[in-house]
Amino acid sequence: MVTAEREWQWKDEGEFAGHVGDPLYYDRVGADAIRAEGERVVKLIEAGDFPFDGTHTGFRAGAGWATPRFPGEMS
């Protein structure tokens, strides 16, 4: 999770660790790849690089944009 001030923290670490090796989630190789990607993104956060550089912070959806909805079986 990242705040507007670029402070960050890992989220749900215990849940993540509990899923390693579960066939419905990921094995150790997959978990290591996920963590490596997280560490790559942390470097972007700390450096203030895109998308953590403040660009696009004023974006607002157009008034005519519909709110996305999940298909019936997923809601």
**Residues 21, 27 contacting (CB under 8 angstroms):** yes
**Residues 26, 20 contacting (CB under 8 angstroms):** yes
Instruction: Please state the pTM of the whole predicted model.
Output: 0.73
Residue-range domain boundaries for the chain? 1-53
CA distances in angstroms from 29 to 3, 20, 33, 38, listed in the order given:
29, 9, 6, 14
Q: In tens digits, what is the pLDDT along the chain, a chain of 75 residues?
A: 999 899 999 999 999 999 999 999 999 999 999 999 999 999 999 999 999 998 888 889 999 999 988 888 776
